[in-house]
Amino acid sequence: MMAEALVTYLHYLGFMVLFAALVAQHLLFVTEANPQQIKRLFILDGMYGGAAILVLLTGLGKVFWVGKPAIFYAQNGLFHAKVTLFVIVALLSIWPTLVFFKARRRSANLPPDTLMPLPAKIRLVQRIELLAVVLLPLLAVFMARA
């Protein structure tokens, strides 16, 4: 009961941080960024990745450790839809992560007023991810009651 409550709390905390990091990164995104701005986008990307790992581990904890038996989820179409959408978001986030990682490495020793171009399409990818992250809790609440 205690473990279930804690895992559930960490699951919620994970997706709150994930959503906050993605919104902040989307708002701070610019197509011409100085090293300071790139550093900020890179740090937010790390928070986003860390939060995604927390969501995944606690989600797996809820399937295999606490709460309902794993068979409930194995037979639950909405669980499969939710995990598929989560995997799609994870795959979508690979390209922006690589862009921020490379930009961070390149900009580390540049003068603070240097502007580096970032692909404008990242904004679209972030919007698709945001939409998916809004739909994920909807799938989750129906999944829990299926």
Binding-site ranges for ligand HEM (CB under 6 A)? 11, 15, 18, 55-56, 59-60, 62-63, 67-68, 73, 83, 86, 133, 136-137, 140-141, 144
Please identify, using beta-carbon distances, which residue of 86 and 100 lies nearer to ligand HEM: 86
Please identify, using beta-carbon distances, which residue of 89 and 118 lies nearer to ligand HEM: 89
Q: How far is the CB of 40 from ligand HEM (least distance, A)?
A: 22
Q: How far is the CB of 121 from ligand HEM (least distance, A)?
A: 22
Q: Would you list the DSSP string of 49-65?
A: HHHHHHHHHHHHHHHHT
Cα 29 to the center of its chain, rounded Å: 16
Q: How far is the CB of 81 from ligand HEM (least distance, A)?
A: 11
62, two tokens: 């809820």
Residues 6+ apart with CB under 8 A from 15: 51, 55, 133, 136, 137
CA proximity to 86, closest of 139, 122, 45: 139
Cα–Cα distance between 38 and 13 in angstroms, integer? 26
Please identify, using beta-carbon distances, which residue of 59 and 96 lies nearer to ligand HEM: 59
Residue nearest to ligand HEM (CB): 59
